[in-house]
Amino acid sequence: MPAPTLAAMEKLFEGCKIIKAGVELPASQLASTDVVGLYFSAHWCPPCRGFTPKLAETYKQVVAAGKSFEIVFVSSDKNVEAFNEYAAEQPWAHLAFEHRDAKARLSKKYKVSGIPALILLDGKTGKKITKDGRSALSSDPKGEKFPWIPPTISEAIGSKLVKADGTEVDAGEALKGKTYGVYFSAHWCGPCKGFTPKLAAAYKTLKARGDDFEVVFVSGDRNDKAFAEYFSTMPWLAVPFDDRDREQDLNALFEVEGIPTLCIIGPDGKILNSDGVQAVAGDPECAKFPWGKEDVTALENAGSFLNDTPCIILFGGDQKALDAPAKEEMARAAAAGEDSEVDEVAFVAGGGGGGGGGGGGGG
C-alpha cells in the first residue's frame, strides 16, 4: 500500500516535536487549525521581548472567542536555558529547541531575515497568509480581522487616488487594462531620490509612445509637507498621504523590506515583477517594457536575491547556454507555486550578456 499523504502541517514539521504546556502537540492537530503562526523570536532580542506580551494578549482573546488559532514559537535563543525561560512565558506551542536544523529550514523557507517575525499560514493547506503577521496583529490587537487574509491588490490600492495638484481620481478607471507600478518611496531616502527621476523619464517615454503605463506612489514620508514636496516632482498618481491604513496594507501585501521598491502589475492584476527598480534602471530606453521577470538575470541586477536564493551563475562563455534551463526552471517553479518545499533556482549571467532586470524568487 502507498504511504498515506501527509497534511501540509505534518509535512512542515515532519520528524519534529512540538510542545504545548509540557505535552507533545501532534502536527495533525495543527492541520485542522484555521490559522497557524510561526513565531520567530528570542529571549535576547529587545524588540521580541516588547512584542511577545502584546502577541500573547491577542492570542488569548482570539482563542477565547472560539477561533481556530495556534502559534508555534521557533526559537533563535543561544542556549536551551534561555529558550526554556522564554518559552515558559508564552501561552502557545513551541518547536523543541533540539530541532536546530528545522529552525534553519523554516527560516530559509519563509525568508526570515530579522526577528521578531510572525508568519501566518493556513493550517489546512499550509499556504502562506502573510509574511507580516506582526503588523497584521499589531494593527488588530483584538483579533477582529481574523484570519487576517490580506486584501487583493485592487482592494489595497482602494477606490480613490490623487494627483500632485490634489485632484481625486477613480483608481479603478485610472488603472483598468493597464500595466502599472506600485512605487514605495520617500523624500528622505537617498536611493529613492536617485531612482525617481529614472522612473519619471521611463514614464514619460512610455506615455509619449502610447503605451498604457501608470504608477501609484505609496509614500513613506514622515509628514504631509515632505510628501507634498516630493510628490510635486512626480507625474503620476498616489495613495492619499493621510490614509496610513492603505499604506500599511500595501507594504504588507508586497512584503516591502526596503525602499525604493517598485512592483510591476500586469493588466490582469497579477504581479509581473517585484524588482521593478532594477528592471527600469537597467532599461532606460524601455525596450523591455512591461518589465516582466526575466529568465536570466545580469549579475549586477541580482543583489535583491543573491544572498537568499540558490543561484547558478555563469561567468564568461556563451550566456545563451542558460536560456533553456532557466525557462524550464521558471515553468517548474510556476507550476509548483510559492509554497513548494523545493527552492526555486535563479540563473545569473556573470558577465558579458545575459538577461536584464528580473530576479528569481525563493521557495
CA distance 259 to 85: 37
pLDDT (0 to 100) of residue 124: 94
Domains assigned to the chain: 8-138 (3.40.30.10), 150-291 (3.40.30.10), 293-363 (no CATH)
Q: Read off the pTM.
A: 0.78
pLDDT (0 to 100) of residue 3: 44
Torsion over CA: 44, 50, 56, 62 (sign): negative
> Of 99, 77, 115, nearest to 19 (Cα)?
99
- Return the bridge partners of 20, or none: 23
Element of type H or E holding 93: strand 93-95
pLDDT (0 to 100) of residue 271: 95
pLDDT along the chain (363 residues), means of 10: 66 96 95 97 97 98 98 98 97 98 94 95 95 93 95 95 96 97 98 97 97 97 96 98 93 92 96 94 95 78 71 72 71 61 71 44 36
pLDDT (0 to 100) of residue 4: 47
**How many CB atoms are located within 10 Å of the residue 326 CB?**
23
pLDDT (0 to 100) of residue 355: 42
The answer to whether residues 363 and 340 touch, using CB atoms and an 8 Å cutoff, is yes
52 CB-near residues (< 8 Å, 6+ apart): 41, 89, 90, 116
Count of residues making up the chain: 363
**How many CB atoms are located within 10 Å of the residue 48 CB?**
20
Q: CA distances (Å), 109 to each of 40, 103, 340, in order?
A: 13, 10, 9
pLDDT (0 to 100) of residue 78: 95
pLDDT (0 to 100) of residue 1: 41
Which 8-state DSSP code applies to residue 302? -
* Cis peptide preceding 147, ω within 30 of 0: yes
The answer to whether residues 271 and 182 touch, using CB atoms and an 8 Å cutoff, is no
CA distance 40 to 183: 29
CA distance 33 to 122: 8
> Of 341, 279, 283, 351, nearest to 315 (Cα)?
351
pLDDT (0 to 100) of residue 5: 55
